[in-house]
Chain A
Amino acid sequence: EVHLVASGGDLVQPGRSLRLSCITSGFTFGDYAMSWVRQAPGKGLHWVGFIRVKAYGGTTEYAASVNGRFTISRDDSKNIAYLQMNSLKTDDTAIYYCTRKMAPDAWGQGTLVTVSS
């Protein structure tokens, strides 16, 4: 069974950084692109970005709203994906979901990030 567990969410001040982790199991991690999707309280889904598999260079794409501030990485030896978030803004407050594939076919439970002074 596919499992995705996101962690690392916290209350942080604007301008600070935070790193989220996504621990996975139940599938061959290195064979799949991984994405992050967020959902602000009471709002819709917002695609954050994704990382390709190593065979496709492990390159990344990001939504315009986070490009230059957020970085997605992966450790295929540990089956973990990461989301490094810098220069956080209050608008980044959301539940962050770790998902499998660029067009998600499996979702973790999400971790809450609150950006507030």
Chain B
Amino acid sequence: SYELTQPPSVSVSPGQTAKITCSGDALPKRYAYWYQQKSGQVPVLVIYEDNKRPSEIPERFSGSGSGTMATLTISGALVEDEADYYCFSTDTVSRGVFGGGTKLTVL
């Protein structure tokens, strides 16, 4: 079955740039989406269709893609950005799949 691979953890200091990657063979042909889930809360969409940001999401969140890899970038990470981040995409028969998640630590 199709898989999306993320690093288990990323750690940055406040104000630094955090990059979270997501690799998958179908990503050159399928959009990537990114979700933020803070402890005990419901996931929130932060990036859709590779690089679009919902209006309520801060500008420091951005998305990009190159080949089989999608990247979520948080420019000038804040302590409040500490959360689990999941990428999402679809396989060639329209089934969805989430990456395993990346725990972002900002301290």
Are A and B a genuine interacting pair, yes or no?
Answer: yes
Query: Among A47, A97, A104, A109, which residue has its beta carbon within 8 angstroms of that of B95?
Result: A47
Contact indicator B96/A103 (Cβ below 8 Å): yes
Stretch at the interface among A12-20, A57-65, A69-77: A57-65
Q: Smallest CB-CB separation from A105: which chain B residue?
A: B45
Q: Is A29 an interface residue (CB 8 A)?
A: no
Query: Do A103 and B43 touch across chains, with their CB atoms under 8 A apart?
Result: no
Kindly identify which residue among B31, B48, B86, B99 contacts A105, using a CB–CB cutoff of 8 Å. B48
- For chain A, the count of residues having a C-beta within 8 Å of the partner chain is 21
* Residue contact A50 to B96, C-beta cutoff 8 Å: yes
How far, in whole Å, are A13 and B73 apart by their CA atoms in the complex?
43
Contact of B42 with A44 in the complex, beta carbons under 8 Å: no
Interface majority SS on B: helix, strand, loop or mixed? strand
- Interface size range of chain B in the complex: 20 to 34
Binary B-proximity of A28-65 (CB < 8 A = 1, otherwise 0): 00000001010000001111001000000000011110
Instruction: Indicate if B100 sits at the interface (CB-CB under 8 A).
Output: yes
**A46 to B98 CA separation, bound complex (whole angstroms):** 6
Contact present for A47 and B1 (CB under 8 Å): no
Q: Which residues of B contact A109 (CB under 8 A)?
A: 42
Find the residue from A46, A103, A109 having the highest chain B CB count within 10 A: A103
- Complex A-B, nearest 10 residue pairs according to Cβ-Cβ distance, in ascending order: A47-B96, A44-B101, A45-B98, A107-B42, A103-B33, A45-B86, A61-B94, A61-B95, A105-B45, A44-B100
Q: Which residues of A contact B (CB under 8 A)?
A: 35, 37, 44-47, 50, 61-64, 97, 102-110
Sample of 22 A–B contacts (CB below 8 Å): A44-B98, A44-B99, A44-B100, A45-B88, A45-B98, A47-B95, A47-B97, A50-B96, A61-B94, A61-B96, A62-B95, A63-B95, A64-B95, A97-B42, A97-B43, A102-B96, A103-B89, A103-B90, A103-B96, A104-B43, A104-B88, A107-B43
